[in-house]
Each structure stands twice: as structure tokens, then as C-alpha cells.
Chains A and B, each alone.
Chain A
Amino acid sequence: MSESKAALKEFQTEVRAWMKENVPAPPPFLLPLSFLEVGTEQQLDFLREWQHRVWSAGYLGMHWPKEYGGQGADPAYQGVVDRELGAANAPIMFNTIGLGWVGPLLLEMGTEDEKAKYLKAILSGEEIWCQGFSEPDHGSDLGAVQTRAVRDGDEYVINGSKIWTTMGNYADHMILLARTDPTAERKYDGLSFFLSPMKIPGVDAVPIRKVTGEYGFNQVFFTDARIPASTLMLEEGKGWQVAMKTLEYERGVQAGQGTSHWAVSIQIDDLIDDLRGFERDGEPLFQDPSVRDQAVTLIMEAKALALSQRRMRLSGLTSDFPMGLPLSSKYRGTEWARRMKLFGTAMQGASSSLYMGDGDAYRGGFWQRAYFSNFGMTIGGGTTQVQANIIAEHVLGLPK
């Protein structure tokens, strides 16, 4: 790390003070728990304004180059901001697909034109990005993408449908994986990657209601939608390569993401503190031996995850399977979070039967919603089961 601890500490003090002054009071309506559940214009406007304020203060894109709206600083500074955003319980940085995936992707593989055209508006929140990878019949199996892109002069004509498109109804752009060559011998070689506009004729986003009762996902239909040929990244047939790079960012293997503050942070401390008021057999919940045992197990998992984050930096302790810890962090972290939130739901006695909207629901049904919502994490970006295959094959060397 090139930055001194003292400089970072000073920066942290500055950011903390700024947060104290600027983090908005909770609005009268419910905010989403993560960027996956932005479902109303009201939520969108609130979050967009907040992201814009953070960026204007110089606290977003800390390590993106200045000419693209960043701060040109060391990545450690974004880490400081993210921690302070979490510590201040600040609203999320909602433009996650732009900040976390598209931005780093363009910085690594994009042309000068692409960087100049897109990066700044990602940071400011002016332009929202969505991702068009999954299709109705092809969720985790990306190589089988069927949406067609056919070259016609200076344009490509797009036909097909994408699903689970977070913010598809609000987005200005989509990273689109489409098939340009259906005859390619290897299915992967027929794919191309586009930076497709969304607000054009022939593109329709239909919101999908989730298990939580909220919106956020869409199915996006392309019907003879014409997009400029200049939106193709690299060249035809390289789509798989670009998509895989994008997934590395999505799964957090690569450092240098725009921000990690894309969901309301729920720590194990929140869970334990929050449940202390409940009783079981007429006694405080955490006097029950079985509940205590389960709570300790969850705390231990939280600690193991924190320790493994640290261990990644100690090469002497990771030599057996060098990529093992980073490649398993999504697998471990999202499943732990699911179990923790399930516990938060289940420990409420009869109250665990209530949901958002019921006036008596504990904290408005916070844990119930958080538990359901967490499936977005264990399914999105490659399901837990796909992650297990990846670890088995790429870390342990087991056959496909």
C-alpha cells in the first residue's frame, strides 16, 4: 500500500465528520435493503440524490482517474469511505452495477471513448446501469444465451429477452450479452458484449414482483431494437471473455470496485442486540441453551469470514490453495447472511408470522424482509450451487 496509515486516518476523520453532517434522516417511506430492491420512483430519486451528494463531496470513485470524474487516489481511500458509509448507517450507493462492475470493466478493457462517455455519469448517479446476462431459460448457464444481435449497417438489431434485470426499468444503459453467431462451434464463441442504450424504441422493461413483495427486478424485452454498432465492446465473438471479467468484479474476486456499500449492512451485533427483548419460556431469549448454542455458531461464522478476509493478505497461510479464499467468499458470506437473517426471523416467537405492512410486525418485519431479500445474494451472480462447482473445479481441481 502506497498510502501512509496517518494519511488514511486523517482522511477517515474528515469523512466521518462529513457523514455526521450530511447523512440524511430516514425518509417517511421505506428504503430498499439493497440496490436489488429499488422499486419506486420515490426511492430512486432519494438514492440518486444521495449518491450525487457523496460524489460531489469527492468521496466516490476514489481511485478512478480524475479525468473521468474520480479522485485519482489510492484504492484504500474508497475502503475508508465504504467503512464510514456503513458505520454511519448511510443510505446505499444504489448505482452498483455501474460503480462496481461496469466502471472497473471499462477502466480495464474499455476504449478511451467509452471511458470518457460513461464513467463520470456512473459516479454522479446521472446514468443508471443494468446488466443483461441472464435469460428466462438460462439463469446460471450464461454460455447458452439466446438473445440475438444481428449486424445491419452501423447498427445491431436486438431480439430476445433478459430477466432478473435489476433497475432495468430505470436504467439508461445495459451491459448486454447477446449472440452474434449462432453457428459458432463453441457456444461461447458466438457471444458478443454490448454497452446497449435502454431508452430506445423496442426495449420494454416489465417489473417483476419478488418474494419480499417488493420490486426491483425486470424482464426486459428486445423487439427489433436497433443499437449503434459502436456499442460493441472489443469485437464480435469476444463476449464471453468480457462477461467473465465482469463476473469477477461482481463476485468480488478483483479488488478495485467502485464501492462496496450497496446494501444495508447487517452485522451479527445487530442481530443479537435486536433479539434481546424477546422471551422464550418466560425468560430472556439468550438464556435458552439451544438458542445460545446457535447464536455462538453464527458469531463464529462471522469471525471466520472476517479472519479469512485478513488471511488473503498472508501468502504463507494461503499457499495450499492460493485462490481458495477469494473464490469462496461469496459462497460463504451470502449463505452465512441467509442463516443469520433466518435466525433473526425465527427467534421472534409468534411475531415471526407477521410481515411488512402489519402494524405489530417487529421492526416493520425487518428480519423477515431481510431473510427473503438475501436470496438475491445467494442466487444472483451465480447461485451458491454454481459457486460450489467453481470452488470444486478451480480451487480443488475436481473434474467438471
Chain B
Amino acid sequence: MSSLVGNVALNFSEEQSMLLDVARAFVRDKAPIDRVRAQLETEAGYDQAVWQEMVDLGWTGIALPESVGGSALGFSAVVPVIEALGHGLLGTPLMDTTLAGQLLLRAGGAAQESALAAIAEGEIATVAFLDGADWGADNTGVSLDDQGCLQGSKSFVGSAQVASRFVVVGNQGGEPLLAVVARDALSDDALVANTLIDLTKRSARIDFSGVKPEQVITGEAVVAALRDYRLLGALLAAVEATGAGARCLEVIVDYLKTRKQFGKLIGSYQALKHPTVDIYCAVEDSRSFCYHAASIIEEGGLSADAETACRMAKTSAGDMLVFAGDRAVQFHGGIGFTWDCDSTLFIRRAQWTQQVFGDAIHHRKRLASLLLD
């Protein structure tokens, strides 16, 4: 047995299986690709009615305790839902809201009940994490001044345009803190929307200077919660990418089975066949890593095994989707180069995904420390 391979626990619960079926059917019925496309250039990036149905299905409370109106199924039950959304390339605030909920839950415990209850009911929340472009920095540059006001701005805040509540990562006297800020507390010009490479996603730069938070959370729990937040974020990004990769593979395979050139279906050419097999294998690997991670993440702080699993999931899925999206464009030939070809949606999603919560190099560097030192 190999100790470097280590933990290979893998479970797929009844609940996960059920949620996967429900979420896949939901995405198929409510969000076919033309409806996703219709939202690409809208401000919110998603259909409000679809979002409301997701809230009504209880998806914003899956990993929250019953005491705040959640269904207490655990974080692992979020995984199949996000995978299904990824499969549909559906851009919604579910991932950002779920992660904001987890950060508050893990950092603030009971004190955050009202915020968590609001999230469970469908209020959109998001974490303002990045100071700049570096996922590896500690990103606590926003400070809380003596008057109790925040100073500084945050970049790439996901779902910022539609969020009602922000969990701002900052510091006071060098100690990390979380500041909870209501949307109402921000002036209109505080928020500058990004033009993202993936048009199904939304983010913005936000200047929090002079804003008084509703609440400030400090202490040891914040440090631990931020570590978990980074890892859970990496995992959900991987899960979403796995769904997208599986769909991308379907799109490629369909085209290879129908397009003829030189009198033959192009799928009969090994130059196209073999890389497609490699995409398939990479999708399967990503899925294995994601469900392995989901099998071992605890509701408490994440173990070293869970950290390894989350980092491997993100590395695997990030690289996989870049490969799949890139080949999807190429294999579609001239049509693949056009805006209307779905392959462009995947290559753009891939470019967004590979960086979020740290790229493959970021995670492999940390895995090397975990595995080799």
C-alpha cells in the first residue's frame, strides 16, 4: 500500500444521489443553453425566476444547520448540486452565497444566526476576499480604523452586483477579521463591475473605505475559517468545473459523431479521437477527486487529508477544463472560432475557473509541502 496515495475514502450517499438527479433534471428543464446565453450580457447574469426556484428547493440552506432554517445535509451534499449547475454552465450566486454562509458559520458560530437564516431563505451573500490578483497572498489588506470604519478596497468580489451582504476579509492591527457589510451601506460608485472572461459569472471591485460594518468577527476561529473557506472554495470551483467538463465532453463527442470531412465522420480520425479520450479520463479523475474530497470533509475544521483532497480536486479539474475547452474550440474548426458556438462558453469558463481559489501551480506547490516534506 502506498502512504503517499493515502486516504482514498469514497462514498456517494442516498442524499447526494438524489440531489444529483434532481439538480440535473432542474438544469435540463429550467436552464437549457439558449436560456443561459440569454443572460450573458444582462446585469445580474442569471434569471431571477430560476434563482427563486433554486431557493425554494432549499439549495441555499443545504449545508446550514436546522437552527437557522437549513437542512443540515452537510457540505458534501452541496457538491452534486454545484456539479449539475456546472454541467449547465448556469451562472447563479449559489456558490458565492454557500461559501459566504460557510465562512460565517465556521468563524462566527451562534452570533451569525440572523445572517445565516437570511442566507438560508435566499438572501444573496458573498465574500470579499481578494485584495488584488494574488490568491496566494493573505488578503487582509482592508483595515478597520479607530472609528470602526473599513479602509481599502477588494477585488474580484463574486456576485457583487446582486449581493445584499458582504463578508469582508480584513485586519485590525494586523489580526485578521471578518466584517459583515450590508449592500445599503455602500454608495453606488463604490462598486465597479468587472468585464469577465466568462460571461456567465459576475464580479466587481468594491471600495469599502469609510463603511461601518454591521458586525466584526475576530479571533482564532477566523483564521481557521479562512483556511477552510479557501479550501472549500477550491473544491466547489473544482466541482463546478467537473460538471462543465462533462458537458464539454458531450459537446465534443456529439460534433465528432456528426461532422464529416474528407468523406468521413471526423470522430473516426485518431488525431481527434485520442485527445477526446484523454479529456474523458481527465473528467473522470476530476470527479473522483471531488467526490473523494466530499467524502472526507468534516463539518468542523478540515483535516490535512481533506486539504490534500481539495487541492488535488482543484488542480485536476482546473487543468482538465482548460484542456477540454481549448480542444473544444479547436475540434470544431472554423465554427468553433465563432461566438455562437458553445465551445466558446467552455473555453471562457475554463479561463475563469483555472484562476479562482488558486490555479494548479498554486495548489501543486502546497501539495508538495504536504506530500514531500
Residues of A whose CB lies within 8 Å of any CB of B are: 83, 87, 267-269, 272, 286, 289, 292-293, 295-297, 299-300, 302-304, 306-308, 310-311, 314, 316-317, 320-321, 324-325, 328, 331-332, 385, 388-389, 391-392, 395-400
Taking the nearest CB of chain B, how far is it from the CB of A282, in angstroms? 18
The one of A295, A320, A398, A400 in contact with B276, judged by C-beta atoms closer than 8 angstroms, is A398
Known: A300-B312, A388-B273. Is A307-B292 also a contact (CB below 8 A)?
A: yes
Taking the nearest CB of chain B, how far is it from the CB of A114, in angstroms? 37
Known: A289-B365, A385-B270, A392-B276. Is A272-B4 also a contact (CB below 8 A)?
A: yes
Are B364 and A296 in contact (CB-based, < 8 A)?
yes
Quick check: is B281 within 8 A (CB to CB) of the other chain?
yes
Quick check: is B38 within 8 A (CB to CB) of the other chain?
no
The interface residues of chain B lying within 8 Å CB-to-CB of A321 are 280, 284
Quick check: is B137 within 8 A (CB to CB) of the other chain?
no
Known: A272-B4, A311-B10, A325-B284. Is A320-B256 also a contact (CB below 8 A)?
A: no
Closest residue of B by beta carbon distance from A292: B368
A-B pairs with beta carbons under 8 Å apart, 24 shown: A83-B1, A267-B4, A268-B4, A272-B4, A292-B364, A292-B365, A293-B364, A296-B364, A296-B371, A302-B5, A303-B5, A303-B8, A304-B285, A306-B8, A307-B8, A308-B284, A316-B12, A328-B277, A328-B280, A389-B270, A395-B277, A396-B253, A399-B264, A399-B267
Taking the nearest CB of chain A, how far is it from the CB of B253, in angstroms? 5
Residues of B whose CB lies within 8 Å of any CB of A are: 1-6, 8, 10-12, 16-17, 20, 246, 249, 253, 256-257, 264-265, 267-268, 270, 273-274, 276-277, 280-281, 284-285, 287-289, 291-292, 312, 315-316, 361, 364-365, 367-368, 371-373
Are B12 and A324 in contact (CB-based, < 8 A)?
no
The interface residues of chain A lying within 8 Å CB-to-CB of B246 are 320
Complex A-B, nearest 4 residue pairs according to Cβ-Cβ distance, in ascending order: A307-B288, A292-B368, A398-B267, A304-B285
The interface residues of chain A lying within 8 Å CB-to-CB of B361 are 293
The interface residues of chain B lying within 8 Å CB-to-CB of A314 are 10-12
Are B372 and A295 in contact (CB-based, < 8 A)?
yes
Bound: A396/B2 CA distance, A: 32
Are A269 and B274 in contact (CB-based, < 8 A)?
no
Tally of A-B residue pairs with Cβ under 8 A? 136
The interface residues of chain A lying within 8 Å CB-to-CB of B315 are 300
Bound: A83/B2 CA distance, A: 12
Are B4 and A307 in contact (CB-based, < 8 A)?
no
Closest residue of A by beta carbon distance from B291: A317
Closest residue of B by beta carbon distance from A325: B284
Are B372 and A391 in contact (CB-based, < 8 A)?
no
Closest residue of A by beta carbon distance from B372: A286
Bound: A310/B288 CA distance, A: 9
Q: List 6 additional contacts besides A314-B10, A317-B291; criterion CB under 8 Å.
A: A296-B371, A317-B10, A321-B280, A392-B273, A398-B257, A398-B273
Closest residue of B by beta carbon distance from A309: B8
Are A269 and B3 in contact (CB-based, < 8 A)?
yes
Are B8 and A310 in contact (CB-based, < 8 A)?
yes
Bound: A388/B264 CA distance, A: 19
The interface residues of chain B lying within 8 Å CB-to-CB of A297 are 364
Taking the nearest CB of chain A, how far is it from the CB of B149, in angstroms? 41
Bound: A297/B364 CA distance, A: 8
Known: A314-B10, A398-B268. Is A391-B277 also a contact (CB below 8 A)?
A: yes
The one of B6, B20, B277, B284 in contact with A303, judged by C-beta atoms closer than 8 angstroms, is B6
Taking the nearest CB of chain B, how far is it from the CB of A16, in angstroms? 13
Are B285 and A302 in contact (CB-based, < 8 A)?
no
The one of A87, A299, A392 in contact with B4, judged by C-beta atoms closer than 8 angstroms, is A299
The one of B10, B11, B257, B284 in contact with A399, judged by C-beta atoms closer than 8 angstroms, is B257
Bound: A310/B367 CA distance, A: 22
Bound: A225/B277 CA distance, A: 43
Closest residue of B by beta carbon distance from A398: B267
Interface centre among A269, A286, A388 (most CB of B within 10 A): A388
The one of A289, A293, A308, A397 in contact with B285, judged by C-beta atoms closer than 8 angstroms, is A308
Are A299 and B274 in contact (CB-based, < 8 A)?
no
Bound: A171/B357 CA distance, A: 58
Taking the nearest CB of chain A, how far is it from the CB of B29, in angstroms? 19
The interface residues of chain A lying within 8 Å CB-to-CB of B367 are 296, 299-300
Interface centre among B10, B16, B246, B270 (most CB of A within 10 A): B10
Bound: A314/B292 CA distance, A: 12
Closest residue of B by beta carbon distance from A297: B364
Bound: A388/B269 CA distance, A: 12
The one of B12, B265, B270 in contact with A317, judged by C-beta atoms closer than 8 angstroms, is B12
Closest residue of A by beta carbon distance from B6: A303
The interface residues of chain A lying within 8 Å CB-to-CB of B267 are 392, 398-399
Taking the nearest CB of chain A, how far is it from the CB of B161, in angstroms? 34
The interface residues of chain B lying within 8 Å CB-to-CB of A391 are 277, 280-281
Are B288 and A398 in contact (CB-based, < 8 A)?
no
Taking the nearest CB of chain A, how far is it from the CB of B5, in angstroms? 5
Bound: A87/B1 CA distance, A: 7
The interface residues of chain A lying within 8 Å CB-to-CB of B316 are 300, 304
Closest residue of A by beta carbon distance from B373: A286
Taking the nearest CB of chain A, how far is it from the CB of B292, in angstroms? 5
Taking the nearest CB of chain A, how far is it from the CB of B103, in angstroms? 27
Are B257 and A304 in contact (CB-based, < 8 A)?
no
Taking the nearest CB of chain B, how far is it from the CB of A313, in angstroms? 9
Bound: A289/B20 CA distance, A: 39
Taking the nearest CB of chain B, how far is it from the CB of A391, in angstroms? 5
Closest residue of B by beta carbon distance from A310: B10
The one of A267, A308, A396 in contact with B277, judged by C-beta atoms closer than 8 angstroms, is A396
Bound: A56/B1 CA distance, A: 26
Are B365 and A293 in contact (CB-based, < 8 A)?
yes
Bound: A303/B367 CA distance, A: 13
Bound: A293/B368 CA distance, A: 7
Closest residue of B by beta carbon distance from A267: B2
Are B253 and A398 in contact (CB-based, < 8 A)?
yes
Bound: A202/B270 CA distance, A: 41
Are A399 and B265 in contact (CB-based, < 8 A)?
yes
The interface residues of chain A lying within 8 Å CB-to-CB of B280 are 321, 324, 328, 391, 395-396
Taking the nearest CB of chain B, how far is it from the CB of A12, in angstroms? 12
Bound: A229/B29 CA distance, A: 63
Closest residue of B by beta carbon distance from A308: B288
Are A392 and B274 in contact (CB-based, < 8 A)?
yes
The interface residues of chain B lying within 8 Å CB-to-CB of A296 are 364, 367-368, 371-372
Bound: A233/B365 CA distance, A: 56
Are B257 and A397 in contact (CB-based, < 8 A)?
yes
The interface residues of chain B lying within 8 Å CB-to-CB of A399 are 257, 264-265, 267-268
Known: A303-B6, A308-B288. Is A331-B281 also a contact (CB below 8 A)?
A: yes
Bound: A392/B281 CA distance, A: 11
